[in-house]
Amino acid sequence: MKKGMIKATDAFERIVHWSLAISCIVLMISGLGMMFHSLNFLAVPVGGLKNLKLIHNFTGLFFIASLFFAVLMWWREAGVFEFPEDAEWIKVAGGYLWHVDSVPEVGKYNPGQKMFFLAVAIFGAAMAVSGLMMWFPLSFGAGLVRFMYFLHALGFVVIFAFFFVHLYLGTIGSPGSLPAMTSGWVTRAWLMKQHPKWLKETEHKGRLVVYGKEPAPREGQGHHA
């Protein structure tokens, strides 16, 4: 690793991120395999639709646990919009759709990432509740259970769309982004372009972790002879 790289995420953040991502992929594939007759072949490698349903249901429980930790960990930074800077960023679409000379500075997560996080948090919770009610209908009315199927499908459509936008922007759409969720280390140049406000604030508070650099002593501490 090159000296001067900056730590953007810790190990727990990355574990939660990939747990959520992988469970989402498994749920989408298994869900499509059960929903559409033309995609029933997706059940063949696991021994049939019955096994595919079991995989879908139990992966759903893993997704719920991952979603819980994600909301707990990221709500404060990614679940709340800050004005007016976020509104200014939205006006120019962060410079992703057309050339912008100066993109408004934002914190650790830009409004696009916040929209994705909120979509996953809100519709993920809706899919969790609807999925559990579909799995265990108990004494719920038939009309309510049917509505849960609709809600589950709606959640899938929303998350499916956001997922691929997030995948694109996290890779080829924004070069240098992927290491933030693989190794956790990114370049200063990438942070200055994508999250300048967070970089400046974190550096000012003395919380920036730079590879190959000794951490600054905390306030009130010094070297003793």
Instruction: Name beta bridge partners: 210.
Output: 6
Q: What backbone phi and psi angles, to 5 degrees, belong to 98?
A: -155, 165
What are 219's two structure tokens? 């306030």
Rounded Cα distance between 54 and 33, Å, is 12
The pLDDT tens digits of the residues spanning 114-169 come to 999 999 999 999 999 999 999 998 888 889 989 999 999 999 999 999 888 888 88
* Top CATH class, 6-204: mainly alpha
User: What pTM did the predictor assign?
Assistant: 0.84
Residue 215 has pLDDT above 70, yes or no: no
**Mean pLDDT, all residues of the chain:** 87
| Alpha helices by DSSP H, 136-213 | 142-169, 188-194, 196-204
| Model pLDDT, residue 218 | 52
Q: Note whether 79 and 116 are within 8 A (CB).
A: no
Rounded Cα distance between 141 and 21, Å, is 33
Rounded Cα distance between 212 and 209, Å, is 9
Residue 14 has pLDDT above 60, yes or no: yes
Give residue 116's identity as a one-letter amino acid code. Answer: F
% of the chain surpassing 90 pLDDT: 51
Residue 205 has pLDDT above 60, yes or no: yes
| Model pLDDT, residue 119 | 93
Q: Note whether 166 and 24 are within 8 A (CB).
A: no
Residue 108 has pLDDT above 90, yes or no: no
Residue 29 has pLDDT above 80, yes or no: yes
Residues 68-78 have a mean pLDDT of: 93
Cβ count near 31 (within 10 Å): 23
